[in-house]
Amino acid sequence: MSIELFNESGEDAPEDRIIEVARFAMGAMDVHPAAELSIQLVDLDTMADLHMQWMDLPGPTDVMSFPMDELTPGGRPDAADPGPAMLGDIVLCPAFAADQARKQRHSYDHELAVLTVHGVLHLLGFDHAEPAEEKEMFGLQNRILADWYDARDQRATEQRQAEKDGRLLRNIGFDAEPGTS
């Protein structure tokens, strides 16, 4: 998956983590591995302008999604298999997210992860206008985030164990390279 992130917000943001959670969410949703996604981080004024232009709502918001290609399954039986597509654009407002994180009493990084997954789900056609849609979308969003955190914790545990194993092997005289003790 190709994910490009452009930070035009003037704010520090965990760009690698945003890309990581977007990639994880796309994988969890079985998005084609060659799909492309663009993520833009913008300031409050830019987000307010986009919010008014596209939603006719005043003031900034936390995340907006702009799907590019229609990703509908099926189609004509004689059509070629669908290939990679430009999934679309996610626009995040880090300043808005920071304020929202403080109000909800969780970390800025977590808030940006939530908003990124939320944006990916919107690009894939999920919405929360109706109660049933909201239940489905937010349930899926929470599951993807929990799985992402579990995978991150597992990788961190494995990394710590590999480092311990390497130190132990060096201390007892073994090299890390096979056959070079």
User: Cα–chain-centroid distance for residue 137?
Assistant: 15
Q: Is residue 74 in some structural domain?
A: no
Q: What pLDDT shows up at residue 175?
A: 61
How many domains in the chain? 1
The answer to whether 122 is a known ligand-binding residue is: yes
**Where residue 89 sits, what CATH number does that domain have?**
3.40.390.30
Choose among 109, 110, 138, 108: nearest CA to 126. Answer: 138
36-41 and 86-92 as β-strands: parallel, antiparallel, unpaired? parallel
Choose among 35, 41, 36: nearest CA to 14. Answer: 41
Number of Cβ within 10 Å of residue 29's Cβ equals: 15
Q: What pLDDT shows up at residue 33?
A: 87
Q: Is residue 102 in some structural domain?
A: yes
Q: Is residue 180 in some structural domain?
A: no
> Is 41 in contact with 94 (CB distance < 8 Å)?
yes
Q: Is residue 117 in some structural domain?
A: yes
Question: pLDDT tens string for the chain (181 positions)?
Answer: 899 999 999 999 999 999 999 999 999 999 988 899 999 999 999 999 999 999 999 999 999 999 986 544 444 455 555 556 789 999 999 999 999 999 999 999 999 999 999 999 999 999 999 999 999 999 999 999 999 999 998 988 988 888 888 888 888 877 655 555 4
Q: Is residue 14 in some structural domain?
A: yes
Q: Residue 70 is which amino acid?
A: E
Question: 59 lies in which domain range?
Answer: 2-69+83-172
Q: Is residue 49 in some structural domain?
A: yes
Q: Is residue 142 in some structural domain?
A: yes
Q: What pLDDT shows up at residue 139?
A: 97
Counted residue by residue, the chain has a size of 181
Q: What pLDDT shows up at residue 75?
A: 44
Model confidence, pTM: 0.82
The answer to whether 128 is a known ligand-binding residue is: yes
